[in-house]
Amino acid sequence: MSLLAVHDLAVSRGGLRTVEGISFALDPGQALILRGANGIGKTTLLRTIAGLQQPVAGGIVMEDDLVAYAAHADGLKAALTVAENLDFWARVFGGGSVAQALAAMDLTALAARPASALSAGQKRRLGLARLLVTGRPLWVLDEPTVSLDTASVARFAQVVRAHLGQGGAALIATHIDLAIPEAQVLDLTPFRARPGTAPARLPSGFNEAFA
Amino acid sequence: MIALLRRDLRLATRAGGGFGLGVAFFLILCTLVPFGIGPDRGALAPVAPGILWVGALLSCLLSLDRIFALDHEDGSLDLLATAPLPLEGAVAVKALAHWITTGLPLILAAPVFGVLLQLPGRAMPWLLASLLIGTPALSMLGAFGAAITVGLRRGGMLLSLLVLPLYIPTLIFGAEITRRGAEGAGTATPLLFLAGITLAVMALIPFAAAAALRVNLR
């Protein structure tokens, strides 16, 4: 039984279809890396799978409450400390241990520091530590390695591999080469929506027409 | 839900959270009015209920755009939308947090400001009661306006234009309770109307605001 199955999915941003005809499945323990040029629709695809917007065509089959989503913005409150930020998300998601997540992303020494005093890379590490406290199996990550240094990227790859080893799955949009050998790669370039060749050029519904 | 409430309260009371801004604005407004109208009891007392209620309403408005705009900016709103917490629940909790940090201090400070405006002593309990029943509706309606304007640059101005007309029924009945209280007349009817408005708003707004948020997140 797949965690996530996507059939012939088309997504749109600002009323224009970006990518279409995408199908894949993710089983527990698998990772899929999305590649493609800027603007091809990686973020839109990930937001659609995370449930933040509706697909314009095709279907997404998965159970409710599986996704932990991490985007460009880390969702941190500058006035709260590192531990308080993480503790909040742990309570909201009812997930795992804050101390373990801090240790996994090498943030234990910074736990009492306000998030406003963190560097960009440290903020990003805190944003990624949030994934661990959600306790959700499917990680949907949009450019997770932005502003991370080489050591942190390696550490993050280890965290993802450990997550896969525990039966989790990950869907990652990235441009760099993450050291995750078991990951498959899906290049979105062939799925770019082209005017004229699409099966139906009329908007498929009210939402697409006025999105 | 408790975690969200605690986080919002903590954020509001830390540096830059804007806690106390509403009360300070209320204070300044209530001090300015006697300067404008004159300190004479005969002139101030009849307008005091209205001024106090308009002041409370405007002070409430000051911090409304913070309800969702800050969470939208730093990405927390996206994450909350994917959390197990229903978005309707998140709206209700954030409106409650706004009421605790803005409405409650206004209610506690109102009797003092009532003295500044020569409000008769027997009207004080009614002023408190009307604010206690009416201000939750102000926070809820404000959350709805904030949900509609989230993601807009300089949405605060538009928010005021959207929300102020919705405040009119609460203002009418709230000020009427206080006025009748000052005259020693019966207050049951406006009190019931005000409570009815607040209850209806609390029942309906979370769904409307959550729907607006879903559209804006898309």
pLDDT tens-digit profile of B73-124? Answer: 888 999 999 888 899 999 999 999 999 999 999 999 999 999 999 999 999 9
Q: In CATH, what is the architecture of A28-55+63-187?
A: 3-Layer(aba) Sandwich (3.40)
By CA distance, what is A207's nearest residue in B?
B215
Tell me whether A183 touches chain B (CB under 8 Å): no
**Confidence at residue A189, expressed as pLDDT on a 0 to 100 scale:** 87
Local confidence band at A196 (pLDDT 50, 70, 90 cut-offs): low
* Residue in the block written with tokens 């917007």: A53
From B80's Cα to the closest Cα of chain A, the distance in A is 8
From B7's Cα to the closest Cα of chain A, the distance in A is 7
**Confidence at residue A16, expressed as pLDDT on a 0 to 100 scale:** 83
| Cβ within 8 Å, pair A80-B80 | no
The per-residue pLDDT for range A137-191, each reduced to its tens digit, is 999 999 998 889 999 999 999 999 999 999 999 999 988 888 888 888 899 888 8
**Confidence at residue A202, expressed as pLDDT on a 0 to 100 scale:** 58
**Confidence at residue B217, expressed as pLDDT on a 0 to 100 scale:** 86
Rounded distance between C-alpha atoms, residue A182 and residue A190, angstroms: 23
Is position B50 within any domain? yes
| Cβ within 8 Å, pair B73-A73 | yes
| Cβ within 8 Å, pair A52-B78 | yes
| Cβ within 8 Å, pair A92-B82 | no
Average pLDDT taken over every residue of chain B: 91
* Mean pLDDT (whole number) for A17-25: 89
| Cβ within 8 Å, pair B79-A76 | no
| Cβ within 8 Å, pair B79-A52 | no
**Statement: residue A23 has pLDDT above 70:** yes
**Confidence at residue B26, expressed as pLDDT on a 0 to 100 scale:** 93
From A158's Cα to the closest Cα of chain B, the distance in A is 24
Is position B132 within any domain? yes
Number of structural domains found in chain B: 1
| Cβ within 8 Å, pair B14-A67 | no
Which residues of A are less than 8 Å from B215 in CB distance? none
**Statement: residue B157 has pLDDT above 60:** yes
* ipTM of the complex, rounded to two decimals: 0.84
Q: pTM to 2 decimals? A: 0.89
Which residues of A are less than 8 Å from B16 in CB distance? 79
Domain assignment of residue B143, given as a range? 21-217
The per-residue pLDDT for range B137-147, each reduced to its tens digit, is 999 999 999 99
The per-residue pLDDT for range A113-131, each reduced to its tens digit, is 999 999 999 999 999 999 9
**Confidence at residue A140, expressed as pLDDT on a 0 to 100 scale:** 93
Which residues of B are less than 8 Å from A120 in CB distance? none
Three-class secondary structure of residue B5 per DSSP:
helix
**Confidence at residue A181, expressed as pLDDT on a 0 to 100 scale:** 83
The per-residue pLDDT for range A44-75, each reduced to its tens digit, is 999 999 988 888 888 899 888 888 999 888 88
**Confidence at residue A171, expressed as pLDDT on a 0 to 100 scale:** 93
By CA distance, what is A55's nearest residue in B?
B218
Q: Which of A53, A74, A93 sits opposite B83 (nearest CB)?
A: A93
Rounded distance between C-alpha atoms, residue B170 and residue A186, angstroms: 56
